[in-house]
Chain A
Amino acid sequence: MAYIPNREPIGSWSRIMMKYKRNGGSWAYLLHRITGIGLTVYLFVHIWALSSLTKGNAAFAAEMKTFTTPPFKVAEWLLGLLVMWHAFNGIRIAVVDLGNGAKYQKTLLKAVWTVGIAVVLLMFILIFQTELFGHPIL
């Protein structure tokens, strides 16, 4: 387990963070939680933002125009980063918990990093295709 239980009451978040063992799997565990909280917050924001659909075409189009400006594109890519990490590591967690899966957790972690980085880089190229190549490639 990543978390070493202790008996003393815990004062601060930084102290709890220092109690994680620094293995690959512990970082995965920590990142899974951080991305999970981030995605939950994003789900609230997403529902809120799309509620403008009830205000009609003009309001929605104006909002969508804002979302295609560069800062939102960067945010979109960062969101993709959170989603892809959480999804691939989540698959790993489900596999590790099935039968004999725990044997393969380190191999699976390497696969998560490899596939994750590949997909996130691909997303970067797709999101910024106009900026990178001067014209849309898809």
Chain B
Amino acid sequence: MIKLTHVSKEYPKRGYALHDVSFHLKKAEFAFLTGHSGSGKSTTMSLIHMADYPTSGEVRVSGFSSARMTGRDLWKVRRRVGMVFQDFRLLPGRSALENVALVLEVTGTPRKAIQPKANRLLDQVGLSGKAGALVEELSGGERQRVAIARALANDPYILLADEPTGNLDDRATRGILDLFWDINATGMAVLMATHDLELIRRYPHARLFELDQGKLVYDSAAADTEAS
């Protein structure tokens, strides 16, 4: 699903944001990516989403390699990877339904099928009654659910979430995490970046990657293997 092989990312002024990171997230796995601010979580997420490319090493996502990716082919990988952000990145002035429908229009879904599918997705994230509400009228938790519904619209193989609960209260956070687990139960791989260790402790069965100063310092799967 997602495979990073000796990935480094160096910025001209900042230096290394990631240094020789390798891991493999398999199908239907749920994993947290944690670390302090500046540890390289967002860089890792953006490399997986191919919003940026590694300075060295290779990122493979659902069969696509960063080494061979061009701007023209970017849409192919984007349709296999759903992405959720801390700041939601929804289109203001449009309803929840329109925000989800946008993805379906973009991917060429027949017009008749767009509204039913968008409604179904909103229903899946628990927003069936809010389809017509403008983004500005929704709470933070509800906005994040719309963003998740949008991320799921392409029926992706992987769901990436970059600090998705960073702007949410505890109750909304739990709701979003439960939703991620439900999504993961359908066979979709989920990788969530968070610095909230308290939150991670609540889900001990999830795989855990920890970054520190751009280096992968902990992988729970590797630790389990070593322990056994």
- Is this pair of chains taken from one and the same complex? no
